Chain A
Amino acid sequence: MQKNAESPAGNDVESTSPAAGAKQRKPSNDVFYKFFDELTATANKNISDKLNSVVTTLASNKGDIGDICDQLCLDYSFLYFIQNRKRAYPTDRLGIFCEKYANMSCHELALGVRKPVMLPKIQSSIARTLIRLDSLFDISKVIINKYAPLATKAAHGPSRTDLTLSRIRELANDLQLTPMRAQALYWGNADNISLLFQPSHKNSIVRRIEKRNNAFVKMTTAIMAAFLVDQPLDYLICEDYTRTCEIAYRGDNGEPIVITDPKIIRVISIYLALPEDKQCEMFADILLRDLQFSVAFSSIFQF
């Protein structure tokens, strides 16, 4: 890991080629690492290609390259390094690029696969409840009007390490396990953990993110984590993943249902931008309406 003096915020950057940095991890014979190294190389190539095409298009339209750099929070020299595949695109700024220029999700851009974010239990129950209630009353509008002014978090915030960890914790919460235990469960049979799947192993994602005090997670780690939790990259690196990626929830039979209603997407987006206590309040507000409605409905049928 190197510090690049030319990077705008002085953040950590990761290099993609051996020439770019003196300190490189030795190429590993480990099958596990090889697989993810190849995926990362592909992702970096795809992102760099897309960036090149965007820059070329803008240049041909006489757009100002300086404006693009400002919008992407990258300085020109750093942009040059990424274009020439000497540096990987920083994961904390990938969301802005995808939203503004690439018009696709980070996962699709990096790995070429379109995949919706499967909402965790709390968000999916909000979505499911609103879909049910909206057919009778326009609850979404009320919720949006009430909570939109309280949304304080930026859609693409500066630090991503905490975000990635909190997203893994969120999914572990759904399973009611500690994040380590959840990882062991995802990656193998947790009752008979082999060395590779043991959370104390060097490949442990949670420990890897916790121990390395980086400003944002490296692309390899982000991809490994995405495989770990079976979610697209957007879920782990974007504060508001509804802006870049499709969202879905599981239906009664377990099949994924993609949410297309813009109002519901807006509600989820607001939920993600709220502080934690307000998130709880919003959840309570929606569920209470639903509970009240179901109680009233069942009492009518009793009569």
Chain B
Amino acid sequence: MNKECTEYQKNIPAYVLQALERNEALALELHLEECAACQEELNAYRQVSQYLLLAVPPQVPPSSLRARLEQRLKVRKRQERGYGWKRVASRSLVWGALLLLVGLNLFSLLQIHALQRHQAQLLERLQEVQTAFVLLAYPDTESLPIAANLEQVTGRLLLDKKHNVAVLLIWNLPPPNSDHVYQAWLIDEHGDRTSAALFVPDPSLPFTTVTLISPPSFTFADFNGLGVTLEPEGGSPFPTGPRLLEVDF
């Protein structure tokens, strides 16, 4: 123990009684961190302060105090349970709101996709109608009647063999079942069929326009006629259903 310790140890009794000024207490605490002798002295005086707690004569409290404590405990526990439920409720509310937001976002995305699909279909149809109008203006365009095996269905095939362009214009063609599509076939001189288009009428319109595509390295001039059948969704490699429409080139 050095001279410095002697000075610090003078303050230890007051320190354990919490009677030192704040700055004195802080200085002593810093010294205690690195001085084992002073820590030992501190522990001895801590024991004295504990004895001071134990030395006070006990006093019997009023008997009503226990009942009051019990009552306050019950109230406190009820409050704690209440806070618990409130916590659960508020968390559920937050999660619910988050799920609702995610749901709304998903719904918006689906709506946007549906609108984009619809827009693409409208654009496609517009292009087909424009092609049909352009074809009508060509001097070499042939307008061939469609023979239909369906009631009230009429139409024409606009065919320009020189520019290798053909558009079907069909009125009153009923929409097929959801698992079927109409398929157009080009028929050559041997009676072989080549797929030229898959289409489904728009139920909101009374007419259907279909742009036909000739197979690679062939032109419409290589074919003698056209047939339309009802085929399973996605189309078939060759006709499987009865011919519903036909055009003789």
Tell me if chain B binds chain A: no
